[in-house]
């Protein structure tokens, strides 16, 4: 029997991350929520920044996410997850470790369906399961692909 977690284990030949998104989310929580000493917060933030620099060097782009250029496997590899359906599209929530790197003004949608430009100064940094309460609306076919490839057997 395959588990959900096993399906999310990245193929090492396709791996775009140095660290898992779960580890990056925990590091982001340390410095965003001020859970630890200043030294640990700086170290955690530097680690997340290094990972994001690596992603950007390998071609990652928030614009590509927003335009639906990534498939379900790639989105899952980055740590995005489908959250809810809004109209004929699915909301893919952004992992918390990416919060400080989201471009100002890019269009995001909240889990309640409100769409608008991203503004870091007013963005909600609360998370559930490592996901922010907003993300990108993408075609339903991407979620169907995700569901097919990640369903429990």
- Contacts with 11 (C-beta within 8 Å, 6 or more apart), sequence order: none
Of residues 48 and 128, the one with the higher pLDDT is: 128
Dihedral of the alpha carbons of 68, 129, 35, 43, in degrees to the nearest 10: -40
- Average pLDDT estimate for 108-122: 94
- pLDDT for 92 equals 94
What are the sequence ranges of the domains in the chain?
17-150
Task: Report phi then psi at 60, rounded to 5.
Answer: -65, 145
Of residues 77 and 20, the one with the higher pLDDT is: 77
Range in 15-29, 60-74, 136-150 the model is least confident about: 15-29
High-pLDDT (> 90) share of the chain, %: 29
Question: Is the CB of residue 24 less than 8 Å from the CB of residue 94?
Answer: no
Question: Is the CB of residue 119 less than 8 Å from the CB of residue 69?
Answer: no
């Amino acid at each position: 029997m395959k588990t959900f977690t096993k399906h999310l284990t990245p193929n090492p030949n396709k791996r775009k991350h140095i660290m898992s998104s779960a580890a990056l989310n925990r590091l982001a929580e340390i410095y965003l929520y001020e859970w630890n000493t200043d030294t640990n917060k700086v170290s955690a933030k530097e680690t997340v920044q290094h990972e994001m620099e690596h992603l950007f060097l390998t071609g990652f782009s928030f614009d590509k996410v927003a335009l639906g250029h990534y498939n379900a496997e790639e989105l899952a590899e980055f740590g995005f997850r489908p959250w809810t359906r809004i109209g004929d599209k699915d909301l893919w929530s952004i992992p918390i470790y990416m919060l400080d790197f989201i471009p100002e003004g890019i269009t995001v949608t909240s889990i309640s369906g409100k769409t608008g430009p991203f503004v870091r100064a007013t963005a909600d940094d609360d998370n559930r399961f490592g996901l922010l309460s907003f993300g990108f609306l993408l075609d339903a076919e991407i979620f169907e692909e995700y569901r097919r490839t990640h369903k429990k057997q």
